[in-house]
Structure 1
Amino acid sequence: MSKFIKRLFLKQDPAFYQDKDSHLKPSLTTKDLLGLGLGMVIGTALFTLPGIVAADHTGPAVPLAFILGAIGAGMASFAYAETASVLPFAGSAFTWINVLFGEFFGWLAGWALLAEYFISIAFVASGWSAYVQGFIGSFGFKLPISISTGFNPKTGGFIDLFAAFAVLIVGFVLSKGISQVSRIENFLVVIKLTVVILFIVVGLTSIHAQNYVPFIPAHKVGTSFGGFPGILAGAAQIFLAYVGFDAISANTAEAKDPEKTMPRGIIGTLLIGTIFFVVVSLILVGMFKYNLYEGNAEPAAWALRKSGHFVTANLLSIVAIVGMFAALIGIHLASSRLVYAFGRDGLLPVFLGKVNQKHLPNNALVIVTIAALIVASVFPFTFLANLVSAGTLIAFIMVSLGIYALRPREGKDLPLPKFRMPFYPILPCVSAAFSTMIFWGLNIDAKLLMLGWFVIGMLIYFVYGIKHSKLSKKTTK
């Protein structure tokens, strides 16, 4: 038994990752990383979630849910920035935890991230579909329910063709190379920011002060609405908004001078994104009573139409339709790099860890695209919104605690970082505890499905991964 336990704690040598990832071409600058991060952050969550969270959990206090989420994400971002600076390898938390705590724990962190990435792709694609349908619906054109929503026997929904189409297009674009993708991403982010600012300016003219009263509705006992429980539940649901810097870290091996660019990209994404979240959500709940946003996956465009700003509403819809591809690109890219890392380490079939003649891990990209296409086209938007945050929070907890294993090795067998998490050793513990509190605020479906996902992950690891792992082969030589 002791030999088995030691095997679980066996750590990978960072030199292994340095050698394997040398086949990936570093091309991302700080600007590109900010583009990827803001493409994720100022995307589907900003355009879709504030209204739903306000109606289901917080009332007008939805900005407080974003701020609560930002505090948790902010502390974790410091841990991510330091770790990415010391261990600039593909795979994000999977690779880092493998080096710091051992392969089994790295696999669990990576497996949690994989759930987050797959569901995030599906969530963004589903949100994109909602905006497309809202836009064409404003001109009187509607698709049959059977092909315009996820599977829902009650409504007759079967498959979401728009969501499937979005996943396919992004998969094709990514197969052409990351340098071309980063240029597209940066362009889309500039357009999105411009129209979000336009929404803020126009929305300010349609605010009604009475919609903010009461700002924090009383808690309804037995529900997740109102009071601090509602704000906590809202923060748990919108936490997917902060997955942007996690997506950045998955591409560390393809960043130029990652010791400097990764901390700047991660922390910059969080700061800029949080400002927009708070301002947009505050305006949105001021325009209309929060309960009118229930189940509305395109609240910003809807609010503008209802306020008589038809042209601005359709402009926002068009930009959301185009701009959500930026979010899809970021998370699709991150998930393919994570699956590549699994194959690189032998924990999944080795062909997934191969790169083509253009130094692109397109085998992993194809598998991710197929899996995401199935999830995006079948599961409805509101169901996905409740699930996507769980994997992010688990990764945040593990990376925050990872600082305790990282710090003693810096300057010894690991390089000294150019950025360090402040207030060590207090802040890593507080960060992990804060993310745990938000995780506790998730609904029961998210927790149970995450538990089931971990059971599947452990079965794969003990049946396949541990036998084929490159680490196992190295130790048996």
Structure 2
Amino acid sequence: MGFSTKAKFETYSQKDKRLEQKLGVKDFLALGVGTIISTSIFTLPGIVAAKFAGPAVVFSFLLAAVVAGLVAFAYAEMSTVMPFAGSAYSWISILFGEGFGWIAGWALLAEYFIAVAFVGSGFSATFQHLLATANIHLPAALAHPFGTNGGIVDIISLAVILIAAFFVWRGASDAGRVAQVLVVLKVLAILTFIVVGLTVIKPQNYVPFIPKHDPNTGFGGVSGILAGVSMIFLAYIGFDSIAANSAEAKNPKRTMPLGILGSLAIAVALFSAVTLVLVGMHHYSAYAGNAAPVSWALTEAGFPLLSQIVSIVADTGMFVALLGMILAGSRLLYAFGRDGMLPQSIGKIDKRENPSNALWVLTAISVVIGAFFPFTFLAQLISAGTLVAFIFVSVGIFALRPREGKDLPEASYKMPFYPWLPALGAIGSVIVFENLDGLAKLYCFIWLLIGLVLYSLYGAKRTKSE
């Protein structure tokens, strides 16, 4: 097997039949919406407004949504043709070759490791804010990641990741049912915040809507909005978590497009509304460094009880995101083991028809990252890995179309305005990547370099994807 040797469709189709197909449209919408409007909607609007864009942070969310939407169309088409575990990894292996698939999958793997940790950190921040309202404070050593504010380990982040992993271990359908219930509560909490927040908005907080650019700090202006896009982009990666579970979908030709595009549309509307209300309630500068801005905004506006309720529901919503991310990340790791790219034990299915070895490997690594690395450090690192995979998938549409109805099945959903939209999706992803923090790009490069070394020394010699 060589770097550009293409994997066979039939191989993945046969191997993934071992996974139980139980997830329907409601499950995917719940997991998708729950993942997309999770930690990010309760944390990032305030942070990005204070650091980069001011009230214009809503433009950052909308621009990120446009780029993510272009890629989501490509994801929807690919997932109907190739409903396999591992999403971009499996697709690119079939379209361009196993080496290219490995790069895309390895980039996504960083996303899931860090995203699980990121959501766990966000859960911890909101939960600690809730405890503080009851005058309960954890010792600094257990309240913060190592080296941050006297912290050694974020014990709440560690615990919630383990609990979420347990639910996923019980089965994908159980995780889907839990997600359906909790995501309804989360959407109700968000709508309540929007309605209540509208009553205390101060119009002067929107002036100027686009603050003047400060070249010394990077704040304000168009460049501030674009910098915000790069940090916010991680909010929209939830549809990849849907695609990664497509091997467990009932009727994937219908389920996948509805789950991917539907969850993104709902998320964009809620993101925009929450962002506008948040920066209208208090001056954007008040949210600097605040990892729980929604709860804080309600408390400061005189709604402490509602703040506590929203904090509780926000944490349940983040729990849904953990379910979705752990479910998807474990399926990606399973796909690597399935093909021999990583030890085959990771690709084994247990008696529950779950890839439990992959699940616990993902959980262990994410626990370490979430418990020991600071919250804000994680945000752009997620975007970096995701964007690499998004570029591959967008370009992959050009390789997919000529093969549909020939050696690959015909797509039940096709990306509109081909070839323009996939080209714009790839270009948009490159632009967002270019605007990432320099350190995030450096770490992404190092991660990909490690991946190439691992492929050369291990995966290329043991792959079983033919």
Q: Could you tell me which amino acid in structure 2 is paired with residue 211 of structure 1?
A: N
Decide which of 8, 17, 35 is 2:12's aligned counterpart: 17
Q: Out of 90-99 and 170-179, give the one that drifted further.
A: 170-179
Q: Deviation of residue 225 (structure 1)?
A: 1.3
Query: What runs of 5+ residues in structure 2 fail to find an aligned partner?
Result: none
Q: Deviation of residue 158 (structure 1)?
A: 1.6
Residue 419 (1) aligns with residue 413 (2): yes
Q: Could you tell me which amino acid in structure 1 is paired with residue 190 of structure 2?
A: V
The residue number in structure 1 matching 2:57 is 62
Note the alpha carbon deviations across 1:131-166, whole angstroms, 9 max, x for none: 11000011211112211111226x322210000001
Query: What runs of 5+ residues in structure 1 fail to find an aligned partner?
Result: 1-5
Partners in 2 of 1:346 and 1:331 — Cα distance? 23
Note the alpha carbon deviations across 1:97-138, whole angstroms, 9 max, x for none: 000000000000000000011110000000000011000011
The residue number in structure 1 matching 2:232 is 238
2:114 aligned counterpart, secondary structure: helix
The residue number in structure 2 matching 1:126 is 121
Q: Could you tell me which amino acid in structure 1 is paired with residue 107 of structure 2?
A: A
Decide which of 305, 310, 316 is 1:311's aligned counterpart: 305
Residue 347 (1) aligns with residue 363 (2): no
Q: Deviation of residue 222 (structure 1)?
A: 3.9
Decide which of 424, 430, 440 is 2:424's aligned counterpart: 430
> After the TM superposition, which residues 444-463 of structure 1 pair with which residues of structure 2 at under 5 Å, given as runs?
444-463=438-457
Q: Deviation of residue 242 (structure 1)?
A: 0.4
Decide which of 365, 371, 381 is 1:371's aligned counterpart: 365
Decide which of 242, 250, 261 is 1:256's aligned counterpart: 250
TM-score by length of 2: 0.99
- Computed over aligned residues only, the root mean square deviation of the Cα atoms, in angstroms, reads 0.9
The alignment-based identity, stated in percent, is 51
Q: Deviation of residue 234 (structure 1)?
A: 0.5
| Count of residues in Structure 1 that have an aligned counterpart in Structure 2 | 466
> After the TM superposition, which residues 43-192 of structure 1 pair with which residues of structure 2 at under 5 Å, given as runs?
43-152=38-147, 155-192=149-186
Note the alpha carbon deviations across 1:392-444, whole angstroms, 9 max, x for none: 11111110000000000001101111111111111111110011111111101
Residues 234 and 380 of structure 2 are in contact (CA less than 8 Å); yes or no, is this contact kept in structure 1? no
2:199 aligned counterpart, secondary structure: helix
Q: Deviation of residue 310 (structure 1)?
A: 0.9
Partners in 2 of 1:385 and 1:392 — Cα distance? 11
Partners in 2 of 1:449 and 1:285 — Cα distance? 32
The residue number in structure 2 matching 1:3 is none
Residue 200 (1) aligns with residue 198 (2): no
Q: Deviation of residue 321 (structure 1)?
A: 1.7
Residue 221 (1) aligns with residue 215 (2): yes
Partners in 2 of 1:252 and 1:165 — Cα distance? 28
The residue number in structure 1 matching 2:376 is 382
Partners in 2 of 1:361 and 1:341 — Cα distance? 9
Partners in 1 of 2:373 and 2:110 — Cα distance? 14
1:98 aligned counterpart, secondary structure: helix
Partners in 1 of 2:407 and 2:217 — Cα distance? 50
4+ runs of 1 displaced by more than 4 Å? Answer: none
Q: Deviation of residue 385 (structure 1)?
A: 1.6
TM-score by length of 1: 0.97
The residue number in structure 2 matching 1:401 is 395
Q: Could you tell me which amino acid in structure 2 is paired with residue 348 of structure 1?
A: L
Note the alpha carbon deviations across 1:442-474, whole angstroms, 9 max, x for none: 101110110110111111100111011114xx5
Partners in 2 of 1:432 and 1:211 — Cα distance? 36
Q: Deviation of residue 387 (structure 1)?
A: 1.6
Q: Deviation of residue 386 (structure 1)?
A: 2.5
Decide which of 319, 322, 327 is 2:316's aligned counterpart: 322
Decide which of 32, 35, 49 is 1:37's aligned counterpart: 32
Note the alpha carbon deviations across 1:199-245, whole angstroms, 9 max, x for none: 01100011000000000011111433111111111011011110110
Q: Deviation of residue 11 (structure 1)?
A: 0.3
Partners in 2 of 1:295 and 1:341 — Cα distance? 38
Note the alpha carbon deviations across 1:286-337, whole angstroms, 9 max, x for none: 0000011011010001000000011111100111122210000000110000
Q: Could you tell me which amino acid in structure 1 is paired with residue 366 of structure 2?
A: A
1:175 aligned counterpart, secondary structure: helix
1:59 aligned counterpart, secondary structure: helix
